[in-house]
Amino acid sequence: MSTPASPSVPRHAPLLAPIAFREYQYAHTISAADVGIDSALIAFWRKIGVLPFFEKGKRARFSYLQVLWLRVLYTLRELNNSVDMLKKFSDYFIKRAYDDDLPKKNLLESKSNLEKKMTLGLLTKEESMTLKKIDEYLHDETLMYVLKWDINYFSNLVNLCLDTEQEAAILIYPDGTISEFLGGQLIWQSKDDRDLSGPHIYLPISHFLSEFIADEHLQKYISPLELLDEDEYRLLREIRNKNIDEIIISLKEGKMLSIKSAMRGTITGEQARMVQRTLGIRNYEEITVRTMDEKSLSFKHIKKIK
């Protein structure tokens, strides 16, 4: 597994909280000169089609999300990926989204979820306004065309990372296959199962977000693939499988923390994130897990040599 070093890039002060990045990710832009990548290289990328969101002849300004895309392309170039691989990468994340009309697909999914809540009488006033806005967007042909270039599978992955507070990553295998990773599991993969322990390039989204988001916010985006041992990873797997009866955590400060499932082996999202953060910073002495299938798991924290 390879985690690339970042090229030297300018910081955009002040650094943001995740919610602010979400608000500004399209609205705020950066000039090509301030991005820190040679203009000739950007022009070449535009020529080969891996920056398809710019019209010919127009001076490029980059949204925050587009800057992240540039950083990923630059990293792939530094790792000696071919031009053909960059094109394949762009096709996977951007062209495929354009062909799938991803913005419309996303809006229709959100609309469907809100309409289900409305049917159950659970729709809030704010959600009702959101539903009205979605209908307006769907009927605005000009806006939907613009969104087809702004919203893609890369932006979806970045926002999944922010929304779930879990590490997201892009994995590239020696045969050129691309996979997406979120919170300990692949969210897309080729028909043949991939072995995560096998050789691959690993591009963590939080690494690229660090250009915009303060470190104290990024510390929670823990990658099980990089940091967790087998027992810790199994605990996360049992949480995902809704197989938790109780988790007892002995913290380093001498405190005890007990998390019990509300029903059917499920713990709340906030409880799951708290467990992830505890595992990520290894702030525990021992963890005991009782599962719904009456199997138990107990392990202690052993300091690892870095």
Neighbouring CB atoms inside 10 A of 122's CB total 10
- pLDDT tens-digit profile of 50-85? 999 876 666 678 999 999 999 999 999 999 999 999
Q: What is the pTM of this model?
A: 0.70
Residue ranges of the domains in the chain? Answer: 1-224, 228-300
Asked if the model's pLDDT at residue 18 lies above 80, the reply is yes
243 half-sphere exposure, CB direction, 13 A CA radius? 14
Asked if the model's pLDDT at residue 43 lies above 80, the reply is yes
Output the average pLDDT for the chain: 83
DSSP class of 8: P
pLDDT at 87: 97
Q: Which whole number is the average pLDDT over 153-173? A: 91
Q: Which whole number is the average pLDDT over 271-278? A: 76
Q: Which of 95-109, 147-161, 214-228 has the lowest mean pLDDT?
A: 214-228
Q: How far apart are CA 261 and CA 271, in angstroms?
A: 10
Q: How far apart are CA 66 and CA 137, in angstroms?
A: 22
Tell how far CA 260 is from the center of its chain: 28
7, 206 contact by CB (below 8 A): no
Neighbouring CB atoms inside 10 A of 166's CB total 24
- pLDDT tens-digit profile of 102-137? 999 999 999 999 999 999 999 999 999 999 999 999
Q: Which whole number is the average pLDDT over 291-297? A: 78
DSSP class of 54: S
Give the closest residue to 110 by CA, choosing from 49, 166, 151, 167.
151
Greater model confidence, 209 or 6: 209
